Amino acid sequence: MSDGREGNSAYGHKAFKRSRSHFADRITADGRDGRPVEAGRYRLVAARACPWASRAVISRRLLGLEDALSLAVVDPVQDDRSWRFTLDPDGRDPVLGIRFLSEAYDNRESDYPGGVSVPAIVDVPSGKLVTNDYQQITLDFATEWTALHRPGAPDLYPRALRDEIDAVMADVYEDVNNGVYRAGFATRQEEYEDACAGVFRRLDLLTERLARQRYLVGDTITEADIRLFTTLVRFDAVYHGHFKCNRWKLAENPVLWAYARDLYQTPGFGDTVDFDHIKRHYYQVHTGINPTRIVPVGPDLSGWLTPHHREELGGRPFGDGTPPGPVRAGEEVPAQGRP
């Protein structure tokens, strides 16, 4: 999630506080918020650079919602008019017909707080933003969009495990997902050290948990794994150096490194990750903490494809379901963004 302003130069100069999602309309099976689930009606706008948006991209692919919910991928580097559709011909989204995501926000409401963030779901007929509630979007994909799931789609939020999933996700969000940002954008030494300590304290606890089980909750992939993965996959590339979370690298933790590789090599995860977008966004946009905008050449990404041996712990990635099929044409990650 990012506010979409080029450079975000204030980061590193003022205390970091994550904005709540201002637009939280839900798209539901019964349409109780006036937004019914409907194939082809909505468009998901995402940045492959953004961990919050990446959750939605992974969930969409695992559940097989590609035909029901189209995907727009924005340029990883914003300007002062917000996320840009410069990856598309003529710099305009071919479905929404707009150049900047802010146009969909403006169509919904003027002078909205919190800036322009991804993921965002836009109503195609009206061109208006529906929701930017990154915490709820994927839960609704799993529970409200079931009529449009592919055959063999996994249950990412099984009812019997929801209390445990929610508890794990709350801890991961506070200390890891958001913790790396609080460390990276800290303006005082004490603030940084407190956030960094929280990151690694939680990672140590997750290491203990994942040393004895393949996935975070139960024996299949759930929403909890998606949310942890999107931070872990960015850890060595940007959080270790750029955000100064450098007590150790992910690749130096045998358990978490194997867990992250296991997920990366699972269809629906690694095939959505674009390391080029990730690095260019963080290092070129956050000029408050990287004023030179120089993007480092490392780390070596080849290790993501090495054997992980996590299958020895058992578990069934998709439960009684099946893996997603090949990546939809036009949604492939460019070669320069892959290991």
The residues that are catalytic are 50, 181
Helix axes 162-172, 223-234, angle to 10 degrees: 20
* Strand partners for 251: none
**CA-to-CA distance for 169 and 303, rounded, in angstroms?**
27
Q: Where do the H-state alpha helices sit in 6-161?
A: 51-63, 102-108, 134-143
Give DSSP secondary structure letters for 138-180.
HHHHHHTSGGGPPTT---SS-GGGHHHHHHHHHHHIIIIITHH
Rg (alpha carbons) of the chain, rounded to whole number: 19
Pick from 90, 88, 49, 83: nearest CA to 70: 88
Q: What's the CA gap between 125 and 188, in Å, rounded?
A: 47
How many Å apart are CA 70 and CA 214, to the nearest integer?
32
Q: Which two tokens stand for residue 54?
A: 């990446």
Alpha carbons 171 and 173: distance in angstroms, whole number: 5
d(Cα 186, Cα 201) in Å, to the nearest integer?
Answer: 18
Give me the helices (H) in the chain, please. Answer: 51-63, 102-108, 134-143, 162-172, 179-184, 189-210, 223-234, 254-264, 275-285
Distance in angstroms (rounded) separating the CA atoms of residues 339 and 335: 8
